Amino acid sequence: MSTGATQSIGAPHERVDARAKVTGQARYAVEQPMDAMAHAVLVTATVAAGEIVAVDAAEALALPGVLAVLSHENAPRVQPADDGELLVLQSPKVSYRGQIVACAVADSLEVAQDAAERVRVRYEQGEHDVVLRAGHPKLYEPKNVNAGFPTTSTMGDLDAGLAEAQVTIDETYSTPTQHNNPMEPHATTAAWHDGDLLLHDSSQGTSGARSTMAEVFGLPEGRVRVIAQHVGGGFGSKGTPRPHTVVAAMAARIVERPVRLAVTRRQMFTVTGYRTPTIQRVRLGAAADGTLTAIGHDSVQQTSTLREFAEQTAVITRTMYAGPNRLTSHRLAALDVPSPAWMRAPGECPGMFALESAMDELALACGLDPIELRVRNEPELDPATGNAFSSRNLVACLRDGAERFGWSGRDGLRGGGADGLLRGMGVAASVYPAYQSASSARASADPGGGFTVEVAATDIGTGARTALVQIAADALGVDPARVSVEIADSDLPFGPVAGGSAGTASWGSAVHGACSTLVARLQEAGGPVCEAPVSAEYDTTEDLDAREPRARFAFGAQFAQVAVDPASAEVRCERLLGVFAAGRIINPRTARSQLIGGMVMGLSMALMEETLMDERLGGWVNTDLAGYHVAVNADVREIEAVWLDEHDEHLNPMGSKGIGEIGIVGTAAAVANAVHHATGVRVRDLPIRLDRLVGRLPGAPDAG
């Protein structure tokens, strides 16, 4: 075994699971082979509020091959949980349209689908309240918001800061309901054996899922095992168990056979979470030179009556820019709607759309270049905590991006071109916390000269397996081909959820620690090859507790160029560039994929994504990928992501920051700012639909 560095980190390694995925050998949650497999199909509520009066399953049960129909009348009882959505089939109460009210189980999927359609559920319908508005009478102040942040923060006197300002902005911005829509639907294969529960689940975190499911079914954690070997995306929606997982386990217990349950695309719009709509008021006050004197950001959003989820929409505003007088707040309305949950960069993504749009408006009002305005308000310390930043290279990203994108030619681009289109450029800042959670890992030396690393990490398509191989190889001082990584099984050493862009930092630190400890033990034993395998475990809890307080964030700058047809009001994004400062990049190949993926999702947010509510029926309208539009290849003309060489010694052994979410943050604002630059029309409500521009564009027939 070599003890020299192999420099695997930083190399563009191919994904270690690439061949398995492209050849179809990789098995997902409902592709696990089991004997006597049964199939389950959900039945969902057709009213938005009320109670179930009766469930008539006779016709469904009469079908050959039907094994059971579950409802609140006969489902196994489960334990209270923090997430009221998981108390599924426990009550006749209906809390939202699309809630799970029954489940048909049969020998085949086709029969289960037929049976589900034959289950007759009768309701006593109640009044429903499903539309969020700024002055909603149900608004309240939650105890805290997602990730444990205080709901409200104040510093100085916002009103005084606004009063002394020479230039002020006071505008309201809104983002609609958005749905995650990963390619693989939420799905579970459940089986019981001698009272133990096995779940193959499309999950972003097997350790956390085991704890939750053990609580729900009143079991010791050791009697629950969750495996998620391959996951076809999640964007946050698979971060915690959803109600279908509970139903699959219930069904398997009732029929005493393994049960396979995949949520349909339409059902994914109701039972798997979504990004809450937001209404955000941003108030900025500045001196004539653009120096901020006041920063106010108030967010209104919705939650369900089953589970409180308060997105931290205004929290990032506490950190972004210097200014002595500040106020941020969050208010919630509990409506008769499904429960919102995590969606890629929850809080930061919609919050930065509002803040960075307002900064663009302030720059215009001050007669400043938007980049220069941001540079003039760069803080020396984190305004939220007073702590030093571990590293903060936002200005460098803005400067580098401006040169790459041709920002100096921005004003020459504006106006109608030879093709009659209106073109403009926009910029916005990106930011995301560099989180890290406690994790454990085990590393073993195998008699044949190889090494096995084990951690309950989850690869949701990000390349986590590959990154962990690279981290382990460098810590061991060996070629990556000698390292095998076992992940995504709750029986392995604890690994936190693949969320918050914290996966690689969390699992990787534990892997680095386990491998470094193993190297020391092998050296003590006199060599790498032993008749009996040698192993070492490592837990990062004490390391995290010992870290000095620092403000740890990744930063970036987003640049967009758009072309707008003045006749049709169609907006096309011609170019996107993201420049990021995210510590040491573990794998450039997978990192670029992650960053570009986030940027495309941000473009989609800016121009397309919107789930519409039918106020009369109390349910989502466009619950498929025909009506809920996401960006496709034709929408992404030219896109590039680059990063600065950033060294930050205050992070983790790899010096890395998470990159899964920063790509989406700021992109929508950059596009909206580019639309304003091209047209003079400020769109403060996403998405930038045709009807929000038509008739308002210069050169349009009815522009007035």
Q: Which positions are catalytic? A: 661
Complete DSSP assignment for 309-357: ----TTTTHHHHS--SEEEEEEEEEEESSPPP---SSTTHHHHHHHHHH
Whether 540 contacts 510, CB under 8 Å: yes
**CA 200/CA 184 separation, integer angstroms:** 14
Buried b / exposed e along 92-113 (16+ C-beta atoms within 10 A): bebbbbbbbbbbbbbbebebbe
**CA 179/CA 621 separation, integer angstroms:** 13
Q: Of 312, 337, 354, whose CA–CA distance to 686 is shortest?
A: 354
DSSP character at residue 77? P
**CA 587/CA 38 separation, integer angstroms:** 41
Q: 627 by DSSP, 3-state: which?
A: coil
Complete DSSP assignment for 576-587: EEEEEE-BS-S-
* Structure token digits, residue 39: 């199939």
Whether 232 contacts 187, CB under 8 Å: no
**CA 233/CA 340 separation, integer angstroms:** 18
Q: Which residues pair with 51 in a beta bridge?
A: 93, 124
Q: In which element (H, E) is residue 179 found?
A: none
- Which amino acid, 23? T
Query: How many residues in the chain?
Result: 704
Radius of gyration over alpha carbons of the chain, in Å?
26
**CA 665/CA 354 separation, integer angstroms:** 11
**CA 83/CA 309 separation, integer angstroms:** 10
* Structure token digits, residue 679: 């047209």
The residue behind tokens 């089991």 is 34
**CA 534/CA 530 separation, integer angstroms:** 7
The residue behind tokens 């104040």 is 154
* Structure token digits, residue 211: 């704890």
206-216 helix and 243-255 helix, angle to the nearest 10 degrees: 60
Q: Which strands sit side by side in the sheet containing 187-193, from one edge to the other? A: 66-71, 100-106, 38-44, 259-262, 187-193, 196-201, 224-227
Residues 6+ apart with CB under 8 A from 68: 61, 104, 105, 251, 254, 255
DSSP character at residue 366? H
348-366 helix and 667-679 helix, angle to the nearest 10 degrees: 30
* Structure token digits, residue 501: 């862009």
Complete DSSP assignment for 535-599: EEEEE-HHHHHTSPP-B-EEEEEEEEEEEE-TTT--EEEEEEEEEEE-BS-S-HHHHHHHHHHHH
Whether 660 contacts 501, CB under 8 Å: yes
Specify the pairing of strand 451-454 against strand 483-486.
parallel
